[in-house]
Structure 1
């Protein structure tokens, strides 16, 4: 029996980043939500671990043996699984795609092996980097520390949105190095968050006063990010335009699904080589499947 898990795109609504510590690592504060678009991970018990890949971005994942799915399952000491990944999110895009895939695989591993403890799975997820634990849980949260300290997000409405990637990668390490060299904000400040946002407009007004501290260094390294931000900003009804994570994907928030769909259609028409996806943030995601 093959089980299936959705691996949703992660979006940083804001991302405040401190200066690097003595170990070169960064403290951060980020409000994170997940989209109703993403990859799909399927798995079944097997005699040995294996991973196969398809999908429009399947060729971008690199060597299968070094994929985050395989790495995470080995770190968790999961039983052997035959895993298949349908890759629909671009790589090096600031959407946590590879880490979300690994989180989905770890959730599948626990379904298949009741003896696999939550501690094992969470330790494996943390080892994947700042996005690891949040992508394992795959629900809205406020992330602090190095991304591993998670607390509940405020109550938020569903956020109609557009994701836009200008078809160029934005490697996380290079963006952080540019941030360190560029004299940015260097603060992982936690804004005063209300208990509840009552509307998309209220949410956008709050977010407009926040930052993604990696946006400017990413723009310097990948100028196409500026073009994507401008394309979203020019769209009728756009309430906010910002980069997610270390880029190169940017997102726009809109008052309703119709405005988001219209913006996506217009942007895709003007930039046919870009990846443009209307979506809903904080809306949950497709349920698990059993084949």
Structure 2
């Protein structure tokens, strides 16, 4: 079999509203999720007796390549669905920060499903059905398209494709616990009643998108800053850059993003922050958004 490879793009929550809580404790959300060009890479290699996983890349150190890894869980789930006994050597090149609010592990699991669907001819509906038990963010990462997420992440509605523009990502190198963030969210007042944002059929411009986002928030940002005040420093650094249209935290943190009119402006902002980022050990990335593509294509 020809070696297969695909990219697991960073998921960015442009806004994230906590809208309720189910009796089982899971929180209900309303979020606009898009994908950046930044990514991990997964490869499917030679056939073997049992799935194996090798991890490399900047953020690969410390990750366990054992049965708890979502990549292997996804591979075995699709193997069982297909009825095949074939297994393969998998390689994960981990270039995205771990547990950082940009869906890295979920994106990796979804990428694995997409890759192996080429081997076993699985349909998109098959992948989505397998994705949900793997984690709340895995279904949206299967498609890697601009999507409105509701419920606990299982209610997905296509959103307008991102307008031309650029995005800057910065992670300060600190980990935050999602359960802890939600506990702090409840302690700080909990759910805010607000009007549900109405998304257009398409964005007229980046400024059009920003105008809507300024009426929204990330409800987990303040609780995350309480746990990791450096997040506030990152947001200030991004917002201070010329041409920054909006800065905000993604997911439950600690990665933050800035929106810019063009990719070039995002690159210039990243370059302006290079010295600070290097001194403080911040991870940075700038570039375009990953635009909508069919399942099964990188």
- TM superposition score category, shorter chain reference: over 0.9
Q: Which residue of structure 2 aligns with residue 152 of structure 1?
A: 158
Deviation at 1:270, TM superposition (A): 1.4
Alpha-carbon separation, structure 1, partners of 2:186 and 2:135: 18
| C-alpha contact (below 8 Å) 1:27/1:188 kept by paired residues | no
Alpha-carbon separation, structure 2, partners of 1:53 and 1:3: 16
| C-alpha contact (below 8 Å) 2:145/2:291 kept by paired residues | no
Q: Which residue of structure 1 aligns with residue 36 of structure 2?
A: 35
| C-alpha contact (below 8 Å) 1:159/1:283 kept by paired residues | no
Q: Which residue of structure 1 aligns with residue 119 of structure 2?
A: 112
Alpha-carbon separation, structure 2, partners of 1:126 and 1:189: 28
SS at match of 1:127: helix
Q: Deviations over 1:62-94 (max 9, x none)?
A: 353211111122233264221100000000110
Match of 1:81 among 78, 82, 88: 88
Q: Which residue of structure 2 aligns with residue 259 of structure 1?
A: 265
Q: Does 1:93 align with 2:100?
A: yes
| C-alpha contact (below 8 Å) 1:155/1:195 kept by paired residues | no
Q: Which residue of structure 1 aligns with residue 13 of structure 2?
A: 12
Structure 1: stretches of 5+ with no match in the other structure: none
Q: Which residue of structure 2 aligns with residue 139 of structure 1?
A: 145
Alpha-carbon separation, structure 1, partners of 2:11 and 2:127: 19
Where does 1:95-244 land on structure 2 (aligned, <5 Å)?
A: 95-114=102-121, 116=122, 118-187=124-193, 190-244=196-250
Deviation at 1:196, TM superposition (A): 1.7
Deviation at 1:227, TM superposition (A): 0.8
| C-alpha contact (below 8 Å) 1:268/1:275 kept by paired residues | no
| C-alpha contact (below 8 Å) 1:20/1:180 kept by paired residues | no
Q: Which residue of structure 1 aligns with residue 73 of structure 2?
A: 71
Q: Which residue of structure 1 aligns with residue 291 of structure 2?
A: 283
Q: Deviations over 1:228-276 (max 9, x none)?
A: 1111011111100000011100000011222211110122211211001
SS at match of 2:16: strand
TM-score (norm 1): 0.92
Q: Which residue of structure 2 aligns with residue 21 of structure 1?
A: 22
Residues 60 and 239 (structure 1), Cα distance of their counterparts in 2 relative to 1, 3 Å cut:
farther
| C-alpha contact (below 8 Å) 1:60/1:91 kept by paired residues | no
Please report the RMSD computed on the Cα atoms of aligned residues, expressed in angstroms.
Answer: 1.9
| C-alpha contact (below 8 Å) 2:9/2:290 kept by paired residues | no
Residues 156 and 118 (structure 1), Cα distance of their counterparts in 2 relative to 1, 3 Å cut:
closer
Residues 188 and 109 (structure 1), Cα distance of their counterparts in 2 relative to 1, 3 Å cut:
farther
SS at match of 1:19: strand
Q: Which residue of structure 2 aligns with residue 50 of structure 1?
A: 52
Q: Deviations over 1:96-119 (max 9, x none)?
A: 0011011010011110112x4544
